[in-house]
Amino acid sequence: MGAAAKGWIVVAALSGAIAVAVGAFAAHGLDLSTEAGRKAREWLQTGSQYQIIHALAIMGVVALARSAMLSSGLAVVAQCAFLLGCILFPGALYALAFGGPRWFGAVAPIGGAAFIIGWVSLAAAALMKSD
C-alpha cells in the first residue's frame, strides 16, 4: 500500500473516531433539560452523522482509486473536498454546540459545499477514467 493511501486511511479513521466520540457525547453528556442543551445535542448529532458518512466516503475513494476504477487526480480532489467538508461542516456545528460565536453558523454551508464538490468530483473521477 502506498504512503498516500495509508495517509488517507488514517485521516478517515481518525475522522470516524471523532464522529463516534462526539455522537456519544451528544447522546450521553448533555443536559437536555434546557433548550440550549437540546439544540447543542441536535448540532452535535448532525455534525457527527455527516462526519462519519464522509469518513467512510474517503475510505471508499481510497479503495476505488487503488482498484483503478477512478481517475486518480479527480479521486484526490474528491478526498480533499470530503476532508475539508469534514473539518468545516461538523466543526462549525461542534463549535456552536460548545458555545462558540454565532458566526460559526456561516461556516457550515461552506463545508456543505465542499461535500457536494467531493461527490461531484467522485462522479467525474468515475466518468473520466479511461478503460
Q: What is the pLDDT of residues 65-113, one digit of tens each?
A: 888 888 888 999 999 999 999 999 999 999 999 999 999 999 999 999 9
Percent of the chain residues topping a pLDDT of 70: 99
Q: Structural domain of residue 101, as residue ranges?
A: 3-128
List, in order, residues 6 or more apart from 64 with CB less than 8 Å away: 70, 75, 125, 126
Which pairs with CB-CB distance under 8 Å and at least 24 residues apart come from 114-117?
114/81, 114/82, 114/84, 114/85, 114/88, 114/89, 115/50, 115/54, 115/81, 115/82, 115/85, 115/89, 117/77, 117/81
pLDDT at 30: 82
- pLDDT tens for each residue of 25-78: 998 988 888 888 999 999 999 999 999 999 999 999 999 988 888 888 899 999
| Average pLDDT for the chain | 93
Total domains in the fold of the chain: 1
Distance CA(113)–CA(88), nearest Å, equals 10
- Please list the alpha-helical segments (H only) found in the chain: 3-28, 35-66, 72-97, 108-128
